[in-house]
Copies of this chain bind each other. A is one copy, B any other.
């Protein structure tokens, strides 16, 4: 099976379960408080609009590295929970970061502000949409049908991952300058390490297998973040669902920007600095910033770092404690994650 076919299969499995969950919750919500349906609908739309389901794909591949096909019901529920968790985080983060667009459409706080005709009500109901998804996440994780040691490991692994992401976001919104730690906590934790460790918990992995999965997760998380940075700087709106060069306007201190600031001459550096962090930068200015970053060699540098990280990933996968079936799937997903164009 090609990585593409594997991802298609995962998507069908996860999207099917997500639809079941939302149908059920819509029924409950209609009975409890029908006037709140727009809030649930906004959360559902954003969840279903995010199509790749890479986190569940990594979760299932991690399980297949240890005990292929173990506990399919619990695995599907935890995979769906990862997607709902992602939506919850995006909704809260977009409001915090004042990001108007997500996945090619208005962010939830923006669409709910329109619905209620008031920015504060939009913000409140977006926070509540996230809170509601969080409640669903925990019903799924807490009720996963697993032997009790695995279930306890699953709940604690999920809780720890969740706390890492939240603390990472705390650092991010308060403009902490420990970028590497923010990336690790905010992105690495639940994009790669989390799915690996959750899979290890579900499959009852030995310490050795769990450590091998963690060793694989670390370079992959870094590579994923770098790919994200490259897309944030150079990706098209059609691919990323966000305005071109948004990272420049937000003034994100990415590896690309740091490399450019170190390698450009003084005049170019000053010009780039004049665009970074300016929400009102014109399209021409953003395109100029792109050109400067490109000229500094930052993009080429980032691509070479991604390649090196990918090699480290694949080497880490070559561990005797991991089964070949899962390793093959995992290598495919890792390739998609680091080569993706959106």
Residues in A lying within 8 Å of B, measured CB to CB? 25, 28-29, 32-33, 35-36, 39, 92, 96, 116, 121, 124-125, 127-128, 131-132, 134-139, 141-143, 148, 151-152, 155-156, 158-160, 162-164, 166-171, 173-174, 176, 178, 181, 185
Contacts of A174 in B (CB 8 A): 35-36, 116, 121, 125
A159 touches B135 (CB 8 A): yes
Contacts of A143 in B (CB 8 A): 152, 155-156
Label chain A's interface by main secondary structure.
helix
A92 touches B127 (CB 8 A): yes
Q: Copies per complex? A: 2
Contacts of A171 in B (CB 8 A): 33, 35-36
CB distance from A120 to the nearest CB of B (A): 8
A139 touches B121 (CB 8 A): no
CB distance from A166 to the nearest CB of B (A): 5
Closest to A40 in B: B167
Contacts of A160 in B (CB 8 A): 28
Q: A163-B28, A167-B33 are in contact. Are A138 and B141 (CB under 8 A)?
A: yes
CB distance from A60 to the nearest CB of B (A): 21
Q: How far is the CA of A225 from the CA of B171 in the complex (A)?
A: 39
CB distance from A290 to the nearest CB of B (A): 29
B167 touches A29 (CB 8 A): yes
Q: How far is the CA of A185 from the CA of B127 in the complex (A)?
A: 18
Q: How far is the CA of A116 from the CA of B176 in the complex (A)?
A: 12
Q: How far is the CA of A164 from the CA of B152 in the complex (A)?
A: 26
Contacts of A170 in B (CB 8 A): 33, 35-36, 39, 125, 128
Closest to A163 in B: B135
Q: Which of B92, B116, B148, B167 contacts A36 (CB 8 A)?
A: B167
Contacts of A137 in B (CB 8 A): 138
Q: Which of B131, B156, B158 contacts A166 (CB 8 A)?
A: B131
Closest to A118 in B: B174
CB distance from A334 to the nearest CB of B (A): 25
CB distance from A217 to the nearest CB of B (A): 16
Contacts of A125 in B (CB 8 A): 170, 173-174
Closest to A116 in B: B174
Contacts of A134 in B (CB 8 A): 131, 134
Q: How far is the CA of A315 from the CA of B263 in the complex (A)?
A: 80
Question: What are 20 A-B pairs with beta-carbon distances under 8 A?
Answer: A32-B163, A32-B164, A32-B185, A33-B168, A33-B185, A35-B171, A36-B170, A121-B173, A121-B174, A125-B173, A127-B127, A135-B162, A135-B166, A137-B138, A138-B159, A141-B142, A142-B142, A142-B155, A143-B155, A143-B156
Q: Beyond the given A135-B162, A138-B138, A138-B162, could you list 10 further A-B residue pairs with CB under 8 A, ordered by the A residue number?
A: A25-B163, A33-B181, A35-B174, A92-B128, A96-B124, A121-B174, A125-B173, A138-B159, A139-B155, A142-B159
B131 touches A173 (CB 8 A): no
CB distance from A91 to the nearest CB of B (A): 11
A167 touches B127 (CB 8 A): no
Contacts of A156 in B (CB 8 A): 139, 143
Contacts of A33 in B (CB 8 A): 167-168, 170-171, 181, 185
A169 touches B135 (CB 8 A): no
Contacts of A124 in B (CB 8 A): 96, 173
